[in-house]
Chain A
Amino acid sequence: MKTVHQLTHAQEMSDLPGRKKSMAAIILFLLLTACPWLLWLIPGRSVQNANTENRNLAELPVFSFETFAEYPMLMDAWLDDHLPFRSSLVEWNSAIDYFLLHSSTNELVVPGKEGWLFYTENHSTDYYKGRNLFSEKKLKKIAQNMQSTKDALEAKGISFALVIAPNRERMYPEYLPDWYGIPAQPNALDQVVSYLREHTDVTVVSPYDRLMAEKEKSPETILYHKTDTHWNDLGAYYAARELLDALGIPFPVGEDAINIEKKDDTPGDMADLLNLKRLITPGETYVVSGYQAEDEETVEFSFFGHIRCKAPSRRTGRILVARDSFCSAMIPVIRSIFTESDMVHHRAFENSLIDAEQPDYFVYEVVERQLNKLLKFKYE
């Protein structure tokens, strides 16, 4: 019985490319598979290879007989993280999808209208569409946690406020893709805010209403970044003003002293997730000035730890904030208003800090898409 080799040989010779084309194909193939590493070794190359992934890249593994089973996987990880021209190739891949197909290479990023990029992690879409409403049991639990916190703090003479930053999708639905639809009613944010206001005497600061009012007053003034999930300095300024009003702290200057200046924004975290920082136009942001204390200063800055500031000329008191990244843009206001401020990231925050620092004010700040944290946080 003839083998496939014999059967196809005669056909094969008549079903093959010509010599020149064959050589061209082979050379091209080797250029695309063998050459990248060779080019990478050429000294003096200039290639962009910054780490924009917010993680430590894989290290070159050391082979040992004890860990030989993991060696291939670790080596693969190292190769994947250190491929020649990696950053540029990732950028081109993202650019093809984004600019040609208006699509995203990252499942966590949804391209919206007019250059807006939206985030989908932490069930952001569920919060927008009202698909993750809290049950009565969970609302009760949140209310108990917040009330216990307030009561315990009040017993120590500490004022407590809860700040919930609205998700960007809720603030700017007009820039979302059409399939998102309109923001759902009811939704978890409204649920939690109204339940707490009805069943507790906790000071709940929900800047959503203030921000929507400012947006309606001046629609062309954007309060959130286009390519970042967070509010910009102007949005955060309004939110901080809401907090101060809720705590009964007067603002040190009048409205006519406030200066709002427009400036070019920088590409944000959504652009980073696509590695398109160099190619995306981030739009505009704002700088708010006119209220700063002359002697304010930042004493310590650790994004995932403590951000300690002081403004000795202010007699407002000391504030401790358990925060997430949304508080970053509020720092200029908090730093300027309080005599001392310590803004601690949730990752580093422990209840014992309240006992250690004995602030006048304690604020728990959380973004809408992480409302679940309120099921766990409690100070007693």
Chain B
Amino acid sequence: MLFSSMTFIWLFLPIVFIGNAILQRFGSCKAANILLLAASLFFYAWGEPVYVLLMLVSISVNWMAGILIDRFTRQRSIVLFLDIIINLVLLAYFKYADMLVETWNTITHSDFPLPQIALPIGISFFTFQAMSYVIDVWRGECLAQKNWADLALYISFFPQLIAGPIVKYKDISEQISQRSISAEKTASGIRRFCYGFSKKILIANVLGLCADNIYSLKISAVSCVMAWIACLAYTLQIYYDFSGYSDMAIGLGKMFGFDFHENFRYPYCSRSIREFWRRWHISLSSWFRDYLYIPLGGNRKGTARTWLNLLIVFFCTGIWHGASWTFVFWGIFHGFFSLIERGRFGRAISRCHILSYIYTLLVVMSGWVFFRAETLSKGFALVKRMFLPWLYSSTGYSVWEFMNIHTVLVICIGIFGAGILQYLASLTKLNARWKYSVPEMMFCTVTFCLSLLSLVGDTYNPFIYFRF
């Protein structure tokens, strides 16, 4: 089930919300947890009726690992090792099997058939979340959860199950057993949810259409202008889609009494790639920092080792996002710039504010081209078109075939809403007056309604001639 579906908005959410509110008010936290767990499993099963069993297996394996680590202190490292192996093997099998076989075939000129295993939605998120729990138990940073249901709720909680943020168990363990909801916190959550919902529907979906249309063209049809429009559209789409989902997750969390960490902090306002990664998908970068970079030695073992550790982390960051070499390239691309920023280059760039903003945006936007392209060669071809405009001026296609006034309006809103508007509002203290004001409530209501209209509009699937 997706947040941006009518089944979720008009059926699942109001039923679970009202049920939880009743149980919290007249029942107990425990009863509410049972409802939320059942709802979360139902939520996942709706989209993955078979793979919900996989998630249950994953939860059980990690729950057992936590208990064993807690009980058998001498064998705890072996248990941890086995647990990590099991999690990574599951992830590798379901997510990377095709990529591995295809790569093997390319290198060895073989012709092994691709396994074509369907990818369970959210497997990267819930696997990482589960591993973080077991590692934290091993480190002694939290106690093992003896109650299977409570751990299952942590791993499968529907607000953050499909698209994060990746929540650490130690940040949420107390809230599982004791939390309260209040009208004020609920309203705060609703507000956050509305912003996220509107970002996803009114901005990300619209720009996604534009980007998809241009990216689906054969490369000879793509001019310089089209390549830039597609790049800009996708840059905004992925931010508003991802941060929108995080907003919805954080908002839903509050509505049910939970507090999650922020996952995005206006990443396109960064002045370096290193800063970008402190603002973009914060939960993922902090996961890799805590569970990969620091255990590898971080920056404590000399320059060469630091560079290697960083490249490993960025390689893993890339491949975590998808089973394709384009994602790996994107990760290494970011890793490269992170590395060179540690030296003279970084110091030079940081001297000029404007230059540093432009540099960071160009690197990030160029990186997204590879992230989105189906193949590396198409990615390079698109980037060539962006930066060598005199070679690719006209192709017989007009950009207006792939966008309209609505798209232009959304692009403008998207650019301003990615940090510029918020910065200007903070200068004039408008943001403090706006938050929780009546005009803001009206704004959220209007954008929520427009989003609903858009979602319902998407269900309209007419044909010019009757389709039997």
Question: B-contacting residues of A (Cβ < 8 Å)?
Answer: 1, 3-6, 8, 12, 15-19, 21-26, 28-30, 32-34, 36-37, 52-56, 68-69, 71-72, 75-76, 79-81, 83, 86, 89-90, 92-94, 96-97, 101-108, 119, 121, 125, 129, 131, 177, 179-181, 229, 269, 272-273, 275, 303-304, 325
In the complex, chain B residues 433-456 whose Cβ is within 8 Å of any chain A Cβ = 436, 438, 441, 445, 448-450, 452-454, 456
Interface-central residue, A5, A32, A104, by most chain B CB under 10 Å: A5
Minimal Cβ-Cβ distance residue in A for B257: A5
With A16-B188, A125-B401 given, is the CB distance from A52 to B462 under 8 Å?
A: yes
- On whether A37 and B190 interact (CB within 8 A), knowing A101-B404, A106-B462, the answer reads no
With known contacts A1-B170, A325-B465, A105–B49 Cβ distance under 8 A: no
Q: Which 9 A-B pairs have the closest CB atoms?
A: A93-B457, A22-B187, A34-B14, A179-B400, A16-B184, A80-B459, A17-B436, A53-B462, A103-B406
Interchain CB contact under 8 A, B259 and A79: no
Given contacts A16-B184, A80-B459, A229-B464, contact A24 B441 (CB under 8 A): yes
- B residues touching A (Cβ–Cβ < 8 Å)? 1, 5-7, 9-11, 13-14, 17-18, 45-47, 49-50, 141, 170-175, 179, 182-188, 190-191, 194, 209, 213, 259-261, 396-398, 400-401, 404-407, 409, 436, 438, 441, 445, 448-450, 452-454, 456-457, 459-468
**A4 with B7: CB separation less than 8 A:** no
Cα A6 to Cα B7 in complex, Å, equals 34
Q: Which of A3, A54, A93, A121 contacts B175 (CB 8 A)?
A: A3
Nearest CB in chain B to that of A179: its residue: B400
- Is there contact, CB below 8 Å, between B460 and A275? yes
Beta-carbon nearest neighbor of A29 in chain B: B190
- A54 → chain B, closest Cβ, in Å? 4
Minimum C-beta distance from B220 to chain A (A) = 11
A4-B171, A177-B400 known; A75+B7 contact, CB < 8 A = yes
State in angstroms the CA–CA spacing of A18 and B172 once bound together.
26
Inter-chain CA distance A179–B399, complex, in Å, is 9
Could you list 13 further interchain pairs (A-B, Cβ under 8 angstroms) beyond the known A30-B17, A86-B459, A272-B462?
A3-B170, A3-B174, A25-B190, A26-B186, A33-B13, A37-B11, A72-B47, A76-B5, A90-B456, A90-B460, A180-B398, A273-B462, A304-B465
10 contacting pairs across A/B (C-beta < 8 A): A25-B191, A30-B14, A32-B448, A33-B14, A55-B463, A72-B47, A86-B456, A90-B460, A104-B404, A179-B400
Assuming A4-B261, A177-B400, is B47 touching A33 (CB within 8 A)? Answer: no
Cβ contacts under 8 Å, A179 to chain B: 398, 400-401
CB of B460 within 8 A of CB of A5, answer no
> How many angstroms between the C-alpha atoms of A180 and B182 in the bound complex?
56
Contact at B457–A16, with CB atoms within 8 Å? no
**Cα A102 to Cα B409 with chains together (Å):** 12
Known: A93-B454, A107-B209. A54 touches B187 (CB 8 A): no
CB contacts (< 8 Å) of A30 on chain B: these are: 14, 17-18
Selected from A21, A36, A53, A89, the residue in CB contact (under 8 A) with B441 is: A21
A8 touches B460 (CB 8 A): no
Are B171 and A79 within 8 A (Cβ)?
no
Give every chain B residue within 8 A of A93 (Cβ-Cβ): 453-454, 456-457
Min CB–CB distance B409 → chain A (angstroms): 7
B467 CB contacts on chain A under 8 angstroms: 54-56
A38–B191 alpha-carbon span in the complex (Å): 24
Given contacts A22-B183, A75-B7, contact A54 B459 (CB under 8 A): no
- When the two chains form the complex, which single residue of B173, B213, B448, B452 contacts A3, counting CB atoms closer than 8 Å? B173
CA distance A69 to B46 in the complex (A): 9
Residues of B within 8 A of A108 (CB): 464
Instruction: Give min CB distance, A28 to chain B, whole Å.
Output: 6
In the docked arrangement, what's the CA distance between A325 and B466, Å? Answer: 11
Is there an interface contact between A55 and B170, defined as CB atoms closer than 8 Å? no
A22–B405 Cα distance when bound, in Å, is 36
Closest A residue to B404 by beta carbon equals: A103
Are A4 and B462 interface neighbours, CB within 8 A?
no
**Is the CB–CB distance between A22 and B184 below 8 Å?**
yes
Q: Is the CB of B464 within 8 A of A17?
A: no
CB neighbours (8 Å) of A269 from chain B are 464
Alpha-carbon separation in the docked complex, A76 to B458 (Å): 13
B456 CB contacts on chain A under 8 angstroms: 83, 86, 89-90, 93
User: Contact: B188 with A17, CB < 8 Å?
Assistant: yes
Complexed CA–CA distance, A316 and B459 (Å): 50
Contacts of B465 in A (CB 8 A): 54, 304, 325
Task: Give chain A residues whose Cβ lies under 8 Å from the Cβ of B459.
Answer: 80-81, 83, 86, 90
Q: Are A8 and B259 in contact (CB under 8 A)?
A: yes
Could you tell me the distance in whole angstroms from the C-beta of B6 to the nearest C-beta in chain A?
6
> Which A residue sits closest to B438, measured CB to CB?
A21
Q: How far is the CA of A2 from the CA of B97 in the complex (A)?
A: 40
Q: Are B405 and A101 closer than 8 Å at their CB atoms? A: yes
Tell me which of A52, A72, A80, A106 contacts B49 (CB under 8 A): A72
Q: Return B139 CB to nearest CB of chain A, in Å.
A: 12
Considering the chains assembled together, what is the distance between the CA atoms of A213 and B436 in angstroms?
65
Contact B463 A26 (CB under 8 A): no
Closest CB of chain A to B50's CB: distance in Å? Answer: 6
In whole angstroms, what is the CA distance A37 to B438 when docked?
27
A16-B184, A16-B187, A76-B5 known; A25+B462 contact, CB < 8 A: no
B457 shortest CB reach to chain A, Å: 4
Separation of A5 and B260 alpha carbons in the complex (Å): 8
A125 to B398, CA, bound (A): 11
Residues of B within 8 A of A5 (CB): 171-172, 174-175, 179, 259
